[in-house]
A = this chain, B = another copy of it.
Amino acid sequence: MTDDVQAPPESDKRPRHLAGDDVGIVRPREFTHPGPFAFMSGQTIQGFTLRYETYGALNATRDNAVLICHALSGDHHCAGWHSESDAKPGWWNNLIGPGKAVDTRRFFVVCANVLGGCQGSTGPSSADPATSRPYGINFPFVTIRDMVRSQKLLLDHLGVAELHAVLGGSMGGMTSMMFAMEYPHFTRRQIIMASTANESAQAIAFNEVGRQAIMQDPAWNHGDYPRDGGPRVGLAIARMMAHITYLSDAGMDRKFGRRKRDSAGGESYTFDAQFEVESYLRHQGESFINRFDANSYLYITRAIDQFDAASVAGSLEQAFAPVAAESLVVGFTSDWLFPPEQNREIALALLRAGRRASYAELSTDLGHDSFLLESEALYALVRGFLERSEGYVFDFTI
């Protein structure tokens, strides 16, 4: 099931240390589930498509698959390059590849754009077969569980007998958690990073402001807008604000401080971007609107806000009772969106439920985005957890 892999050219822009050990040029694929699919909301669509990538090969016993789950603004392209001219590789290229922490020589790595997304999987920007126009907000409401159930159909299609592991950060950690709860005997290991069993009021509040920025933009038009139009202003504002929550105060001070754009350093009396952090944020907003659909942003943030691992069972401990997977939970000290305590709480609930779980906390100043950082400590944790035999005594503790 693997894609053809080519050696990258010497002259491209990729960081030198990645040149020799990544999965090279990869090609996204599409899986179409032909039958009806019922969402948790009770709504149904007539089939769906997931765009996905795979790296490495499924083994004869079909039990070496590792499912990667992306975060809100991520997608299926988590490793390698789409073309030799790409400026950047997939978003987790530092973690995934031959010889890396998620070793594609050993594991069959799968990553799909989520249902409700906008990078090739069926979502609000897809054409509704009934009207041939984009679903818009007529698309069914999506939950983390819907995302998990659709990805299970993809794994069945790929012939995966059971998951060696499922892993992800932020929303990807929620998806991993839900996979281990929904398919306990299919999921042998899970790694949850920078995530939460349910969001705090503050995290919901930030998502709500983003949704309001989109929905109050007149160009949103109740979700009915052309593919090249829509609430670009509102989406950019939502992204700029969210981006602040992905960083940390200390990390931003290290990266930008109070440096002015004008190297002369004088006070410039203008509402133009004056501080470097301002022009950085404007760039983040502008680049996002060219790659993301505003309705998908509404749907996915709503799914994140609604996610509550404990909700059905009454407590997190009870909710985790069916889980069979061994779990590694990783929190990051500077993450104030899904802070370390919320990650530790997941591991503690797993332990109280009698499951095998470890919690590790890494000191970083990169905030919520720390799960994406280049960190030998993180690589060692992931590699060790994925490669040791099951039942091996956990050598890191809460």
Interface 1/0 per residue, A265-278 and B, CB below 8 Å: 00101110111011
Instruction: Tell me whether A237 and B209 are in contact in the complex, defined as CB-CB below 8 angstroms, given that A204-B277, A269-B141 are known contacts.
Output: yes
Task: Tell whether A137 is near chain B: CB-to-CB under 8 Å.
Answer: yes
Instruction: Tell me whether A308 and B258 are in contact in the complex, defined as CB-CB below 8 angstroms, given that A200-B252, A217-B233 are known contacts.
Output: yes
Interface 1/0 per residue, A193-206 and B, CB below 8 Å: 00000111110111
Of the stretches A53-61, A78-86, A298-306, the one at the interface is: A298-306
Task: Tell whether A106 is near chain B: CB-to-CB under 8 Å.
Answer: no
Copies of this chain, whole number: 2
Task: Tell whether A256 is near chain B: CB-to-CB under 8 Å.
Answer: yes
Instruction: Collect the chain B residues with CB atoms within 8 Å of residue A253's CB.
Output: 200-202
Task: Tell whether A331 is near chain B: CB-to-CB under 8 Å.
Answer: no
User: A373: shortest Cβ distance to chain B, in Å?
Assistant: 18
Quick one: closest B residue to A43, CB to CB? Answer: B269
User: A344: shortest Cβ distance to chain B, in Å?
Assistant: 15
Task: Tell whether A309 is near chain B: CB-to-CB under 8 Å.
Answer: no
Contact partner of A201 (CB less than 8 A), chosen from B204, B237, B273, B277, is B277
User: A268: shortest Cβ distance to chain B, in Å?
Assistant: 9
User: A359: shortest Cβ distance to chain B, in Å?
Assistant: 20
Quick one: closest B residue to A217, CB to CB? Answer: B233
Instruction: Collect the chain B residues with CB atoms within 8 Å of residue A188's CB.
Output: none
Task: Tell whether A281 is near chain B: CB-to-CB under 8 Å.
Answer: yes
Instruction: Tell me whether A258 and B198 are in contact in the complex, defined as CB-CB below 8 angstroms, given that A204-B278, A205-B277 are known contacts.
Output: yes
Q: How far is the CA of A211 from the CA of B244 in the complex (A)?
A: 15
Whether the pair A336, B249 counts as a contact (CB closer than 8 A) is yes
Task: Tell whether A215 is near chain B: CB-to-CB under 8 Å.
Answer: yes
Quick one: closest B residue to A259, CB to CB? Answer: B201
**7 additional contacts, CB 8 Å, given A211-B271, A241-B241?**
A200-B249, A201-B252, A201-B256, A204-B278, A208-B240, A212-B282, A249-B336
19 examples of A-B residue contacts, CB within 8 angstroms: A40-B267, A43-B269, A200-B249, A201-B249, A201-B253, A201-B258, A201-B277, A202-B244, A202-B253, A205-B277, A205-B281, A208-B278, A208-B281, A209-B281, A212-B285, A249-B339, A271-B302, A274-B306, A275-B305
